[in-house]
Amino acid sequence: MGMIIITMEAQVAPELEPRLIRAFNHAMNNHPPGVVQSLLTRDAQEPTIWRVLTIWESQETLEAHYKSGAIMPSAHVFHLVELEPVGASSEIIATDATMSVLPLHEQNDSMNDTMR
């Protein structure tokens, strides 16, 4: 089985948007092992619908995170602004992505530089 993408979605009132963005930056500052990338998106047609998409290396790394009892980073973003998201998971079958993924410690260093 390949990489897994977890999608968490919630309706976010406009006044909560700045808090949600800060929550995303906070929650994603220290990705758990196995997370390749996370994205915060807003629906193009319905701007009150926000999503956090998190790509995991494999089903095994995702399951290890679940078994550890740790909260899912994509859900945690919404929990920080007192919202309960709806989630879905999908196996990534193919991608045309050409970007390279920085090692986890370099991603965190880059995020920390951005937040300063």
pTM for this structure? 0.79
Residue that wins the pLDDT comparison between 80 and 102: 80
pLDDT digits (tens, 9 = 90+) for 55-67: 999 999 999 998 9
Backbone angles phi, psi at 4, to 5 degrees: -120, 140
Q: Which amino acid is at 114?
A: T
Model pLDDT, residue 110: 47
Tell me which H or E stretch contains 15: none
Model pLDDT, residue 31: 81
Q: What is the rounded average pLDDT for all residues in the chain?
A: 86
- The residue-averaged pLDDT of 69-83 equals 91
Category of 34 on φ-ψ map: left (φ > 0), alpha (ψ -120 to 50) or beta: left
What does 36-77 look like in DSSP terms, one character per residue?
EEEEEEE-SS-TTEEEEEEEES-HHHHHHHHHHTPPPHHHHH
The tally of domains found in the chain comes to 1
- The residue-averaged pLDDT of 72-98 equals 90
d(CA 11, CA 31): 24
Which residue range(s) make up the domain with 87? 4-115
Model pLDDT, residue 28: 87
- The residue-averaged pLDDT of 88-110 equals 67
Provide the CATH number for the domain around residue 14.
3.30.70.100
Model pLDDT, residue 111: 47
